[in-house]
Amino acid sequence: MTARWDPRLYLAYESERARPFIDLVMRILTHPRTIVDLGCGPGHLSAVLLDRWPDATVLGVDSSPEMVAQARRDAAGPQVSYALGDLATWAPPVPVDLVISNAAFQWVPDQLEVVPRLRDHVAPEGVLAFQVPDNHHEPNHVLLREIAGRAPYAKHTAGLALTRSVSPATYLDLLADDAWDLDVWGTTYYHVLEGEDPVYRWISGTGARPVLEALPPGLREDFEAEYKAALREAYPTRSYGTVLPFPRSFVVAKRR
Ligand SMILES: C[S@@+](CC[C@H](N)C(=O)[O-])C[C@H]1O[C@@H](n2cnc3c(N)ncnc32)[C@H](O)[C@@H]1O
């Protein structure tokens, strides 16, 4: 079962979620005319692409009907379009100048096979660029797996497809190739979040969705209470807010 996305909940942390995309885009030093954004989500990042490359056409591809509908409603201009599709099987009619993806590959179970194949869709001297959370070992994800894996939740959550992160070093090993110039790095962001249970609010819009949707009413509320309490302990509130450290992997691969 694929858990549904709620674009409104996802966009609650719009500026924090946009930051790594902007950092990724700033490291792309080519001038693409054709851009495809895989796992584009609600489309709010298309404006970043057009700001940097105003003459480009942008196609956003996403497998969530809710995300594609939101993206079409808010489309940043006539050069931008959106399509429903699976990035694992997506193929353009002709290779494109820039294939970009932000915070999507962690949802693809066989991403270590899919990501290298995406290079086939990049034009000569074009770029494959992506950012993926590297947070599998962060407390919010460890606690999610631990609590969801215990009784009475385990029988509803067994076998769920949760996110998988990949380190910068693994991407380097995976993609090192004489025909490509690689720029690979990792960054940890320290997001300062406001309000009550902000780490829960953050992850309930993304990584925790499959667990929350799999639990029946009643049990879901019990899980939420247990998980929120554990997150409050792992991420104490300080005088200025709650700090969510968030490591991420980045790759810019340019075809020679
Ligand atoms: C965390 S959101 C990122 C959205 C946007 N790129 C951003 O950075 O804000 C992950 C997105 O990846 C999409 N996604 C997950 N698996 C996908 C797949 N196999 N094919 C296409 N999109 C996928 C989800 O529907 C969701 O919109």
pLDDT digits (tens, 9 = 90+) for 51-110: 999 999 999 999 999 999 999 998 878 899 999 999 999 999 999 999 999 999 999 999
CA–CA distances in Å: residue 116 to residues 103, 128, 173, 221, 251: 17, 10, 11, 40, 12
pLDDT digits (tens, 9 = 90+) for 171-210: 999 999 999 999 999 999 999 999 999 999 999 999 999 9
Tokens representing residue 255 in the block: 């075809």
What is the pLDDT, as a whole number, of residue 114? 97
Domains of the chain, earliest start first: 7-255 (3.40.50.150)
What is the pLDDT, as a whole number, of residue 11? 75
DSSP string, 43-100: STTHHHHHHH-TT-EEEEEES-HHHHHHHHHT--STTEEEEE--TTT---SS-EEEEE
User: Does residue 132 have its Cβ closer than 6 Å to ligand 1?
Assistant: no
Please tell me the distance between residue 62's alpha carbon and the centre of ligand 1 in angstroms: 6
The model's confidence at residue 2, banded by pLDDT at 50, 70 and 90, is: low
With the most atoms of ligand 1 within 8 angstroms of its CB, the residue from 40, 44, 106 to mutate is: 40
Please give the backbone phi and psi of residue 243, each rounded to the nearest 5 degrees, phi first: -95, 125
What is the pLDDT, as a whole number, of residue 14? 83
* More confident of the two residues 182 and 164: 182
The model's confidence at residue 227, banded by pLDDT at 50, 70 and 90, is: very high
User: Does residue 14 have its Cβ closer than 6 Å to ligand 1?
Assistant: no
User: Does residue 17 have its Cβ closer than 6 Å to ligand 1?
Assistant: yes
Looking from the CA of residue 17, the nearest atom of ligand 1 is: 9
pLDDT (mean) for 27-47? 95
User: Does residue 102 have its Cβ closer than 6 Å to ligand 1?
Assistant: yes
User: Does residue 82 have its Cβ closer than 6 Å to ligand 1?
Assistant: no
Please tell me the distance between residue 238's alpha carbon and the centre of ligand 1 in angstroms: 32
What is the pLDDT, as a whole number, of residue 94? 97
pLDDT digits (tens, 9 = 90+) for 110-139: 999 999 999 999 999 999 999 999 999 999
The model's confidence at residue 15, banded by pLDDT at 50, 70 and 90, is: confident
What is the pLDDT, as a whole number, of residue 209? 94
